[in-house]
Amino acid sequence: GTGDSKHLLVPAGLSARNVAIFAPNDFARPDDGDSDWLVCSGVDLPPIPEDPCKEEFWSLEDPLMLMTWAALAVWLLIFCTTLLWNLRSSVYLCIVKQATRPNGPASSREARLEARHVLTAAIEHTIPERGVKVSAGGLGKVLDQMLREHPPGELSLVHPMFGDVEYGPLKEYRLLTVVVDGKDQEVQVMTMKSEMNGIMRTWYLLKHDLFTQQSKKTPYPSPMTKLAVLRYFSLWNQCVAQLVSELNPDVYHCMDYHAALAPLYLQGAKRIPMILVLHNADYMGIIETDFINDRFWKTVPQLRRLSLVFNLKVATIRKYCTFEGRFNMLKAGVTYIKETQAGHGVCAVSVNYGAELKRERTLFDGLPSIMPLDNATDPADDQGAAGVDELKARRFQAKAALQKHCGLELDPGAKILIFIGRWVKQKGVDHIAMLTPALLRSHPEVQIVLAGPPDDACGLYAQELLTPIVPEFPGRLFVCTEFFMLPPEMRRGAHLCFTPSCSEPFGYVDVEFGLLGVPSVGCAVGGLGKMPGVYFRQQNSDSAKMLLEAFFIAVDYALDMPDREYWEMAKAATVAEFPFEVWRDNLTEAYSQALKHFRPKDNGVHMLYDKVAANESLREAMAHRGSSMFRRTSSARNIAQQMQVLDIEDNAEFLMQAVSEARTHDIMKQTMADACGRKGDAEALQASICQAEQRLTERNHITLWLMKPFARGLCLRIHVVIALCYIFSSVGETLLKHIATSHAGSAFNNSEVAWTTFYSGAFIGCFFWLSLSRGIPPNVLMAISQMINILFFVLVPSLPQHSFDSDVAAMLYWALCGMQSTSRLLYIIWNFNEDFHGGFQVAARRIGVLESLRTAVGWLAVFLVKKDMEDLVTMIVSVVSLASLVLLFKAPHCYSTYCLPPSGLLEGILSHKSFLLLVASEALNFLTAFPSQSYATWWTLNGWVQSDIRLFALSIAVLSLPILMATFALLQRMSVWGPWAMRDFACLVPPGSLLRAIAFYNLGWLHHRSWLFAVTVLVSVGVEVARGAAVWSSIMTILGNKWYALKGCYLCLAIASLCGALSPTVANWISLTACGASPVDPNTKVTLDKPVTGRGSMGEAVGWAVIPLALASYVLRLLAARYFNSDVLTFKGNGASLPDGSRSGVGHSTRRVGT
């Protein structure tokens, strides 16, 4: 000792707990209190603190445990409440008691530029002077309207001539010559003129065999997969372009997709302003059967042949006519307007339909707006002057006449429900057919009149469903499956008009019946909901169950309305106004906007040929590559090109052909007859027909086996193969990390360095797999991923022990592990490829099942690895990977032909605010990933042994599976009625990392094995898995399309991986700044106590590193809930509220009805 200081010498390398002091009895005395310790005599020492190891803390009475108990209770309460709160499903009806009048443009008339000469082109047409009328729906009515009400000036109308229409004497104008499919085509142009209301109308009628083959009953050629149809539209658009070039109008008025290609044939100074009026954007001129996209970064033959058919260069077709991997004629018009008019000039036939298209269709992203051009109609004959008593009297007389005309029972008290129109899916006729028996049985006073020609598979389905049940309801059900004319006076006899359309641009039927005093009952979508009636909204447009139930509830509510309320609604419908003056003002404004913003842009020559092409030119057009000194084409390839030219000469089809309508009808009829009363959904039946057709044409036995259903139709077998790849990807990650850790050099055993390297590799891997997706089909990509797995599991473990002694080799291996781990996202996205809707309506259940299985298998792998059974795990995963590798190469057609279409990385993504907020939330959550997973270190320091940790891993594996599967099964059931359940679960459940950090901060000083902390950690892990799966389900549901989901999810995963790589650095900086300790510091991780320097403990360091960031992440998810519903494209509002929460109109109210 020196002075008063006394020092105790101990052997070097021993801690204080290993030192024993020997002293005579006289120099020692018992310590004060109940302690068994001996102290030196004559020394005053402070009392020993209470032993933190003497008991376990399960008691709620201990105030030190209350924070963790409270946090655990809050997490479980929020988890359960979000599910229980949404258990009661509801349908929200919109009660409309006042018609919505369209609004005119906001700008003044003085500021407008006038279009003195307008040229419009349409396949439907009307020539009043000759009694010519070719119409298939609303577009024909608009053309009638244009001829009478168009702004004064010169109006040129271009139409094809039909073989069964008598046009009378016409003047020959000129002969047009165009190139279609490598051949010259001559088209004769006939003309006539007339004048009305200051409108100089000039018709230009095109005469050619392709045009005259069509009849006025079927004016539009179909399907788009037929070579003759493609030639028709090529000929039509090139003729329109030549007339536009020659007549040089001020504005080209394009109606829908039919003539949207015409501007591509105009070059340089010949380009003119254009407006594109969307009368029905459900039809875009799309080839649905073939994926027209480069594969392995080479141009596919179909694209070259389309280039030849339409006489446009391959680059032009690729840029202007392909969208989301499909040939799309409407895109040409939209892209032209974007390029030359900054997006000004696209119009829709109703304001709500325009807003709906802008929100839901990515094709219209980038447009400043879709201008409203609401259709106009004549008002009621008496201008709505008739009172309720007069309406009742008219109804009484008209009802008797209608009943007599349709052979119904003459019952003055009957309530007649009526639908007259085309029987197509868009009109919801299949839903009417499915509900008709239930409505007739539940309402004895109801009679139903259904008439119209079936025009698609859903119409044929309705016909087969309704025809057999007519005898079951004699005098109460009238069904006519032909074109049916009903005089307006008889229409007054109906009680309600059916309008359950799935999509409706404007809707003339509700206006026509409403002006006669007949309210509507149906779906408020697009242009519907403007007339008085009872409507439901598509709370989930992908759910047939929701649509059927909501339609039935709406009809039931309308039938049970009090008599006074009903007649007030009927009276309000008769005074509705849709003035021609407003339509004319809006049209003039559209012309003005196109003229103001038009900036001609010369992008070069788009046409392939301007004259007849010889065979040599055809061979050149069909050649996928040329010969050079480095690469010579083979003789077989030259012969193949010659065969392709011969196919052109022989008019051979080059696209896949869908099942014909006639064959679909026969199959539906037989299937429904065999069903013995068990009727399925029309779309599901149509999907089954398509899948059955694919199986009949498939020749490979393995592919055929993969196309068959699994678990009684739950999914297809290919889905199971892809799911197994995803489920066992977590096992692979566990093995890879274990191998790298066990082989790493001593300098690389630093966990934060390994962590950063792994997630840096994951960040790179996201862009690696996304880039490959642009040229490599998904089955090959997934097979490559499985091949890498096999190499890692078979090759790496067999390397010599010293191969990973180098830190560089270990870092490279960790980075490769990270890159490989990100391929798992491919298995999630492509697991939905065969769904009929093409969306993610089954995302909640399927992703929940996959994530629960992946979690269970992953933790089971941890359990086995810690029991030194990694060889068994390696063998199982190797077998799964090898089997999947073989099967993926034989995947069905859609997996071997699709590639990510060319588009901007952020296209279709940035418009979704909730997506951006969820990505930012996940980024912050991943910044907490490294410190929040320090519970393994805590368990070790706290006295838990390997057998205990194995037990925890096994507990998570066993419990997570049933709990997560049950949770997501509930979410899927509740999501049928709208996005509220998924929104609440994804946005309101706090992150599990926050719960763990609170437990660390509160209990991190304990030296005994705290079961409370262990249970909290296990709960937090389960919550985090469920929350993460819900977030990924939400992101895919928000993006709504597999292409945008693929890009968006990889973008989210890349940002999250980058934040994960930065997590150790950020945690170290925050915790050192806040408490002077760090979860990264090795000295902090060796004890749970605070050091003698007074710096923070490990628990405090973790708390400071995690809690602020986790709270910020949670706040962002709460903000995402604000925009969630409006970003989910399958949600189209509820009651009187639109998707963004705004009111749908004046006189609209909401009624909630439980289901």
Q: Find out whether 656 and 289 touch, Cβ atoms under 8 Å.
A: yes
642 compared with 1063, residue with greater pLDDT: 1063
Report pLDDT for 609.
72
CA distances from 80 to 567, 956, 1023, 1032, 1115 (A): 46, 19, 11, 20, 20
Report pLDDT for 741.
47
Q: Are strands 38-40 and 28-30 parallel, antiparallel or unpaired?
A: antiparallel
Closest CA to 321 of 339, 301, 307, 300: 307
Tokens 């030849």 — which residue? 308
Question: Which DSSP state fits 991?
Answer: P
Which strand (E) or helix (H) includes residue 730?
helix 729-743
What is the mean pLDDT of the segment spanning 673-691? 68
pLDDT one-digit tens code per residue, 1101-1127? 888 999 999 999 999 999 999 999 999
What is the mean pLDDT of the segment spanning 644-649? 59
Question: Which DSSP state fits 168?
Answer: -
Pick the range with the lowest mean pLDDT from 31-35, 309-313, 902-906, 1006-1010. Answer: 31-35
DSSP E strands in 76-214: the ranges are 90-96, 117-121, 125-127, 132-134, 153-160, 171-180, 183-196, 199-207
Asked whether residue 839 carries a pLDDT value surpassing 70, the answer given is no
Structure tokens at 174: 């000129």
Residue 841 CA to residue 1128 CA, distance in Å, equals: 11
Asked whether residue 240 carries a pLDDT value surpassing 90, the answer given is yes
Residue 547 CA to residue 1073 CA, distance in Å, equals: 56
Asked whether residue 828 carries a pLDDT value surpassing 80, the answer given is yes
CA distances from 930 to 563, 738, 1117 (A): 67, 17, 21
Q: Are strands 446-451 and 415-420 parallel, antiparallel or unpaired?
A: parallel
Instruction: Provide φ and ψ at 603, rounded to 5°.
Output: -100, 20
pLDDT above 70 as % of the chain: 84
Residue 233 CA to residue 256 CA, distance in Å, equals: 13
pLDDT above 90 as % of the chain: 48
Residue 490 CA to residue 156 CA, distance in Å, equals: 38
373: Cβ–Cβ under 8 A, 6 or more apart, which residues? 277, 347, 348, 349, 583, 586, 587, 590
Q: Find out whether 117 and 156 touch, Cβ atoms under 8 Å.
A: yes
Residue 589 CA to residue 167 CA, distance in Å, equals: 34
Cis, bond preceding 223 (omega within 30 deg of 0): yes
What is the mean pLDDT of the segment spanning 692-720? 84
Confidence of residue 239 (pLDDT cuts 50, 70, 90): very high
438: Cβ–Cβ under 8 A, 6 or more apart, which residues? 552
Report pLDDT for 833.
66
Closest CA to 882 of 725, 723, 701, 702: 725
Instruction: Quote the radius of gyration of the chain (alpha carbons, Å).
Output: 36
Instruction: Provide φ and ψ at 559, rounded to 5°.
Output: -70, -30
Confidence of residue 9 (pLDDT cuts 50, 70, 90): very low
Residue 230 CA to residue 261 CA, distance in Å, equals: 12
Pick the range with the lowest mean pLDDT from 389-398, 926-935, 949-958. Answer: 949-958
CA distances from 425 to 459, 550, 683, 937, 1016 (A): 7, 17, 9, 60, 52
Structure tokens at 587: 């049209």
Asked whether residue 700 carries a pLDDT value surpassing 90, the answer given is no
What is the mean pLDDT of the segment spanning 935-957? 76
**Helix/strand/coil percentages in the chain, nearest 5:** 55, 10, 35
Pick the range with the lowest mean pLDDT from 33-47, 290-304, 598-612, 1055-1069. Answer: 33-47
Q: Find out whether 859 and 729 touch, Cβ atoms under 8 Å.
A: no
Asked whether residue 6 carries a pLDDT value surpassing 60, the answer given is no
pLDDT one-digit tens code per residue, 737-770? 555 445 444 444 567 888 898 899 999 999 999 9
Structure tokens at 445: 């006073």
What is the mean pLDDT of the segment spanning 1-16? 46
Asked whether residue 612 carries a pLDDT value surpassing 80, the answer given is no
- Mean pLDDT of the residues in the chain: 84
> How does DSSP assign 756-778, residue by residue?
HHHHHHHHHHHHHHHHHHTTS-H
